Amino acid sequence: MDRATEIAAAVESAVESLVAVVEQARLAQQPTVPPAQLRVLAIIASNRHTNMSRLAEALDVVPSSASRLCDRLEATGLLRRVADPRDRREVRLVLTSAARRLLTDLRERRRAALAEVLERMPPAARQDLLRALQAFEAAAADPPSEVDRQTA
């Protein structure tokens, strides 16, 4: 099985399994937060200077849709809108401590669920998987140059 398309199919199948394991961990969390709202929280967590226009751009939605998502998160106590100290006309989106705890708990649940599956694999297979994932990550981070594409 060394043809790229066959390997791609196997990776796709494995990704579906990974997504199922991660989704089960999300659904086990209380309160359950919809995926779109979790994505908003993750975006804001990764950039403390997020405002509504940056969020809408990151989500690839119109600002009014991003604002409605933020309204829901604010109503549940997971998000606050505060004036940006650098520009009082801007509104910065800030996670509450409850949101940070929720994201930490979710990350721990996901890792525990994944570890449970990994424990069922033989140790050598886990090591092979680790090396393969690291190689995949490196290849994905280093896209081929124009010269590489022309010679392929």
* Ranges of H-type helices in the chain: 4-28, 35-46, 52-59, 63-75, 97-119, 123-141, 146-151
Structure confidence at residue 88 as a pLDDT band (50, 70, 90): confident
| Token digits of residue 132 | 């393969």
Q: Total structural domains in the chain? A: 1
pTM for this model (two decimals): 0.79
**20 lies in a domain?**
yes
**108 lies in a domain?**
yes
Task: Find the helix packing angle between 35-46 and 97-119, rounded to 10°.
Answer: 110
| Arithmetic mean of pLDDT, 73-102 | 91
**115 lies in a domain?**
yes
| Token digits of residue 144 | 């081929």
**145 lies in a domain?**
no
Q: What pLDDT is attached to residue 149?
A: 57
Q: For residue 24, give its domain range.
A: 4-140
